[in-house]
Amino acid sequence: MHMNEGFCKENIKLPTIRCTVWQGWILVTLNPDAPEPAEQLKEVENLVGYLDMGSYGETFREEHRWATNWKVLAENFMESYHLPVCHSGTIGGFVSLEKMTCPEGYDAFNYHWILKKDDAPLTVAHPLNTTLVGEERVKTWLISIYPALMITLTPGYFWYLSLHPDGAGHVKILYGGGLHADYVNDPEAQDHFKALKTLLDAVNDEDRGCTEKVYKGLLGRLSEPGALSHLERPNYEFARYISGKVGG
Ligand SMILES: [Fe+2]
């Protein structure tokens, strides 16, 4: 290249991609004009900052591919109305529809929370934890960051789904999670890891069954939109977000 007088090595490089660490998450965008996550998602910090999301340790991360549309899976995550039925074999018995709160969402995310029974395994604050008080000890947050990062945050663990559409009929999923530091530092940490992973895998299998069937149903000739419950407020928020993005 020394014969090419116009060549300047400093100007030739791979594209620079924006990458920001926010609350322990590595967020990447190809959009140079996207707002800073700390600005766009500041309400998330206001809501769950007391749990210090970035301090949780990720203990597993896997890739999956399901035969459903990504929006069906996102919508499934956003409502906990399905828990007692779809998850009757796992966590359904530890939740009550009366203990779910679904407030209005924000431009960049929606959320709801569930107050869990205080004997729910791992979901509640560690018995030796003295910093979380009252409802904080039993409150599970479900946060859907648009378009496709779904986070469940409890005082004991977190898990997430990062959705990547793969055509209309499939979605690739980055699925991971881990424990709060209190459980990681517990002498019985290994048992906690095992119990958590077994539980979350079983919950995910149940969701896979539900969302793949819902997608099949959506393709049916007789399929029509239905009414929403107040426990599906986040679904309404998500529909408005999608509608805004596609000019609807
Ligand atoms: Fe579910």
Gap from CA of 26 to ligand 1 centroid (Å): 25
Gap from CA of 209 to ligand 1 centroid (Å): 10
Gap from CA of 172 to ligand 1 centroid (Å): 17
Gap from CA of 215 to ligand 1 centroid (Å): 15
Calculate mean pLDDT across residues 105-117.
95
Is residue 110 within 8 A of residue 237, CB to CB? The reply is yes
> pLDDT over 90 for what percent of the chain?
82
Encode pLDDT of 57-83 as tens digits: 999 999 999 999 999 999 999 999 999
Gap from CA of 110 to ligand 1 centroid (Å): 16
Gap from CA of 135 to ligand 1 centroid (Å): 23
CA torsion through residues 27, 211, 168, 174, sign: positive
Gap from CA of 76 to ligand 1 centroid (Å): 6
Encode pLDDT of 25-55 as tens digits: 999 999 989 999 999 999 999 999 999 999 9
Gap from CA of 182 to ligand 1 centroid (Å): 26
Gap from CA of 109 to ligand 1 centroid (Å): 19
Rounded to whole angstroms, how far apart are CA atoms 134 and 118? Answer: 11
Above 80 in pLDDT, residue 210? Answer: yes
190: pLDDT confidence band, cut at 50, 70 and 90? Answer: confident
Q: What is the pLDDT of residue 111?
A: 98
Gap from CA of 243 to ligand 1 centroid (Å): 24
Gap from CA of 138 to ligand 1 centroid (Å): 19
User: Across all residues in the chain, what is the average pLDDT?
Assistant: 94
Q: What is the pLDDT of residue 123?
A: 87
Gap from CA of 77 to ligand 1 centroid (Å): 6
Calculate mean pLDDT across residues 155-183.
96
Gap from CA of 24 to ligand 1 centroid (Å): 24
Calculate mean pLDDT across residues 110-117.
94
Calculate mean pLDDT across residues 171-177.
97
120: pLDDT confidence band, cut at 50, 70 and 90? Answer: confident
The domains located in the chain, with CATH, are 55-245 (3.90.380.10)
Q: What is the pLDDT of residue 96?
A: 87
Gap from CA of 158 to ligand 1 centroid (Å): 15
Gap from CA of 66 to ligand 1 centroid (Å): 14
